[in-house]
Amino acid sequence: MKKNRILLAEDKDEVRVAFQEGLESHGFEVAPAASVCEALRLMSTENFDVLLSDLHMPDASDGFTVVNAMRHTQPNAVTLVLSNYPVLQAAMTAILLQADQVLLKPIAFTELTEIIQKKLSSHSAHIAINKERVAAILERDLDRTIENWLSRVQHTDELTAVSLTDQERTGHLPLLLDDLVSRLRLPSEAKSPISRAAHEHGIPRRKQGYTVPMVVEESRILQVSIFNTLQNNLGSVDFGTVLLDVITIADEVDSQLKQAMLGFMETMAARSAKP
């Protein structure tokens, strides 16, 4: 009788050996991988029925990398992720869109094998989902991002203290988001351009009566709204690039805030210089 094959990705030697021996004693054939590179090599050259991967191996992004690669190379394999941290279980909604289940360590081999057998017996083929880069998602959901931002601003007393029309509040956002999308599409080694739109945004905000903390707060809300858009599109996010894109978003929003503050302060200085 053919044994079900498990790709076991775990960087800690003692844990990997224990899992391998335990799973093999329950009738599985196990191929151990001590690193992401080794796991990727094995899944590209051999076929597996199950992936069992540690979430941190040793970096936080490693579990995402292994799971994402398995979904692309062997989409019908049962994919299970192991985590040491109970608090992460609720936060792992994202990876659940790629993995079949997140399991918390420590876990008894009897329980683990029962879960694997149950998943194998009821497993259905995964429907291939077209993965999108973050830039494409933000470009596609531009209007929703702006709507979310405006809703949050309208519930922030500090910002609504200045009476503005919706157009006056949001008119700058398409330009800022367009600059962000352009930045996300640049090669990683390319020099980051300065957002002229952000600089121009700071000028009317000073004239409209905004304070420095208010400009900072609406920038913070923009970042929250951007990540809310990504949260709503987790099923189509390309997990292979999402971490780098998230870092780029944070850096670009901070850079845009700096440019907005420069425009804001220049306007303030110009007014102070008038006789």
> How many structural domains does the chain have?
2
pTM of the model: 0.59
- Asked if residue 113 and residue 213 are part of one domain, the reply reads no
- Residue ending a domain, among 70, 102, 122, is 122
- Asked if residue 166 and residue 46 are part of one domain, the reply reads no
- Asked if residue 267 and residue 141 are part of one domain, the reply reads yes
- What CATH number is attached to the domain comprising 111? 3.40.50.2300
Give residue 67's pLDDT: 85
| Distance between start and end Cα atoms, the chain | 93
- Asked if residue 195 and residue 82 are part of one domain, the reply reads no
Assigned domain for 129 exists: no
Give residue 60's pLDDT: 61
Give residue 222's pLDDT: 96
CA distance 227 to 205: 24
- Asked if residue 182 and residue 97 are part of one domain, the reply reads no
On the 0-12 / 13-18 / 19+ scale of CB atoms within 10 A, 220 is: middle
Assigned domain for 236 exists: yes
- Residue ending a domain, among 122, 149, 181, is 122
- Asked if residue 197 and residue 79 are part of one domain, the reply reads no
**E strand or H helix that includes residue 52:** strand 50-54
Domain that residue 34 falls in: 5-122
- Asked if residue 28 and residue 59 are part of one domain, the reply reads yes
- Asked if residue 164 and residue 61 are part of one domain, the reply reads no
Assigned domain for 259 exists: yes
Assigned domain for 90 exists: yes
CA distance 36 to 26: 25
Assigned domain for 109 exists: yes
CA distance 109 to 23: 7
Question: How do the pLDDT tens digits run along the chain, 275 residues long?
Answer: 689 999 999 999 999 999 999 999 999 999 999 998 999 999 989 999 999 998 888 776 677 788 888 888 888 899 998 877 654 444 454 455 567 787 888 888 889 999 999 998 886 655 555 678 899 999 999 999 999 999 999 999 999 999 999 999 999 999 999 999 999 999 878 888 999 999 999 999 999 999 999 999 999 999 999 998 987 886 677 766 777 888 899 999 999 999 999 999 987 666 665 55
Give residue 188's pLDDT: 77
Query: For residue 132, what are the CA distances in angstroms to 36, 97, 135, 190, 230?
Result: 23, 14, 8, 21, 11
- Give residue 197's Cα distance to chain centre: 26
Give residue 104's pLDDT: 81
- Asked if residue 104 and residue 166 are part of one domain, the reply reads no
- Asked if residue 142 and residue 109 are part of one domain, the reply reads no
The token duo for 217 is: 């707060």
| Cβ count near 70 (within 10 Å) | 24
Give residue 69's pLDDT: 83
- Asked if residue 169 and residue 39 are part of one domain, the reply reads no
Could you tell me which residues come within 8 angstroms of residue 126 by beta carbon, excluding any fewer than 6 positions away?
71, 75, 76
- Asked if residue 163 and residue 39 are part of one domain, the reply reads no
Assigned domain for 41 exists: yes
CA distance 222 to 199: 16
* Tokens 């922030």 -> residue: 156
- What CATH number is attached to the domain comprising 202? 1.10.490
- Residue ending a domain, among 91, 122, 153, is 122
CA distance 100 to 77: 9
